[in-house]
């Protein structure tokens, strides 16, 4: 009989998957990692008891985390990715012809190696792209030490526990502020807002003193259960949040993007927040 995988992110409730086949399971240097096959979602990767990505719905998250900041900016040349070991963010970033150089700082080499092997469609060759520069290391140290500056910084972390915890601290956000180019944009996964409301409040409080604008946008990612996923957004260029639809459409066309979730209209709509989040902020 097949084993079941029960997500342990929340006390008292969690989604469950039938593991038709376990492709890889191990305790890496940093976290517990499992990749399995499921009839509904295809290959699934989980870290420390939390579903990170599935073949079927990864495009929702990766497109929204990449195309919203990149097309809001319009001429981003340099991008920094923190985390994102499965390669989905890197793959989407490299679709942008304006981007000359992408640096990715991932703490766990094994996540990259295993995802290349068992989730090959996530990175889809992106790690071999000459525009990509991969650093194995600590994201907090990197942003506080680098002399480089970036137009876009994307934090594709786990939830704020285990290795991901430091990627929600003021020290990390200070480093981000110091290595973001003028007019640059920072985005970060910020959990499922209905269940992780405190995370949204804490992030807003920590980003506010460092940027002229700290805000959020959302998307419903099916396997991040519990409602809408919240993405933190921070910039000193206020106009980036209100780019005209025609401009977004022109940039989308110019980049020749083929997307399955992202559209310029959805981009604009994603900044509309439910009242319970507005009140919490
Ligand atoms: N990293 C973010 C997973 C967040 C899951 N959290 C949750 N369900 N509340 C995904 C990595 C994909 N590249």
**Which helix (H) or strand (E) element contains residue 90?**
helix 88-93
User: Atom of ligand 1 at shortest distance to CA of 224?
Assistant: 8
Q: What is the pLDDT of residue 96?
A: 98
Q: How far apart are CA 120 and CA 139, in angstroms?
A: 24
Q: What is the pLDDT of residue 55?
A: 98
Residue 34, beta-bridge partner list: 25, 46
Q: What is the CA(159)–ligand 1 centre distance, in A?
A: 7
Q: Is 57 in the pocket of ligand 1 (CB under 6 A)?
A: no
156 belongs to the catalytic site:
yes
Q: Is 189 in the pocket of ligand 1 (CB under 6 A)?
A: yes
Q: What is the CA(61)–ligand 1 centre distance, in A?
A: 9
145-170 pLDDT, tens digit each: 999 999 999 999 999 999 999 999 99
Q: How far apart are CA 134 and CA 114, in angstroms?
A: 15
7-66 pLDDT, tens digit each: 999 999 999 999 999 999 999 999 999 999 999 999 999 999 999 999 999 999 999 999
Q: Which of 66, 115, 191 to mutate to test the pocket of ligand 1 (most atoms within 8 A of CB)?
A: 191
**How far is CA 230 from each of CA 51, 219, 233, rounded to the nearest angstrom?**
16, 7, 10
231-274 pLDDT, tens digit each: 999 999 999 999 999 999 999 999 999 999 999 999 999 999 99
**Which helix (H) or strand (E) element contains residue 206?**
helix 197-207
Q: What is the CA(157)–ligand 1 centre distance, in A?
A: 7
Q: What is the CA(211)–ligand 1 centre distance, in A?
A: 24
Q: How far apart are CA 153 and CA 177, in angstroms?
A: 10
Q: What value does the mean pLDDT take over residues 115-120?
A: 98
Q: How confident is the model at residue 280 (pLDDT cuts 50, 70, 90)?
A: confident
Q: How far apart are CA 245 and CA 257, in angstroms?
A: 16
Of the candidates 175, 101, 179, 102, which has an alpha carbon nearest to the alpha carbon of residue 141?
A: 175
65-109 pLDDT, tens digit each: 999 999 999 999 999 999 999 999 999 999 999 999 999 999 999
Q: What is the CA(46)–ligand 1 centre distance, in A?
A: 9
Q: Is 84 in the pocket of ligand 1 (CB under 6 A)?
A: yes
Q: Which of 119, 157, 160 to mutate to test the pocket of ligand 1 (most atoms within 8 A of CB)?
A: 157
Q: Is 159 in the pocket of ligand 1 (CB under 6 A)?
A: yes
Of the candidates 81, 75, 125, 136, which has an alpha carbon nearest to the alpha carbon of residue 103?
A: 81
174-229 pLDDT, tens digit each: 999 999 999 999 999 999 999 999 999 999 999 999 999 999 999 999 999 999 99
User: Atom of ligand 1 at shortest distance to CA of 88?
Assistant: 13
Catalytic residue among 48, 86, 156, 159: 156
Q: What is the pLDDT of residue 1?
A: 53
Q: How far apart are CA 170 and CA 149, in angstroms?
A: 19
Q: What is the pLDDT of residue 281?
A: 84
Q: How far apart are CA 164 and CA 226, in angstroms?
A: 20
Q: Which value does ipTM take for this structure?
A: 0.99
């Amino acid at each position: 009989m097949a084993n079941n995988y029960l997500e342990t992110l929340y006390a008292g409730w969690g989604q469950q998957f039938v593991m038709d086949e376990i492709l890889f399971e191990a305790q890496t240097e940093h976290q517990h990692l499992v990749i399995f096959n499921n009839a509904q979602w295809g290959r699934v990767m989980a870290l420390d008891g939390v579903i990170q990505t599935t073949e079927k719905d990864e495009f929702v998250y990766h497109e929204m985390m990449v195309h919203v900041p990149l097309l809001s900016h319009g001429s981003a040349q340099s991008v920094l990715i923190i985390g994102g070991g499965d390669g989905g963010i890197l793959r989407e970033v490299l679709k942008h012809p304006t981007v000359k150089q992408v640096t990715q700082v991932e703490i766990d080499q094994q996540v990259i190696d295993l995802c290349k092997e068992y989730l090959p469609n996530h990175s889809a060759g992106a790690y071999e792209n000459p525009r990509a520069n991969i650093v194995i290391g600590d994201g907090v140290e990197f942003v506080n030490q680098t002399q480089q500056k970036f137009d876009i910084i994307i934090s594709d972390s786990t939830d704020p526990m285990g290795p991901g915890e430091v990627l929600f601290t003021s020290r990390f956000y200070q480093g981000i502020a110091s290595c973001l180019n003028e007019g640059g944009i920072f985005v970060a996964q910020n959990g499922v807002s209905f269940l992780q409301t405190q995370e949204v409040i804490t992030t807003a409080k920590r980003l506010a003193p460092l940027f002229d604008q700290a805000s959020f946008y959302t998307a419903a990612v099916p396997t991040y259960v519990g409602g809408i996923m919240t993405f933190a957004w921070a910039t000193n260029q206020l106009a980036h949040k209100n780019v005209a639809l025609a401009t977004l459409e022109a940039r989308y066309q110019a980049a020749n993007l083929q997307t399955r979730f992202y559209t310029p209209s959805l981009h604009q709509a994603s900044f509309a927040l439910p009242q319970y989040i507005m009140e919490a902020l």
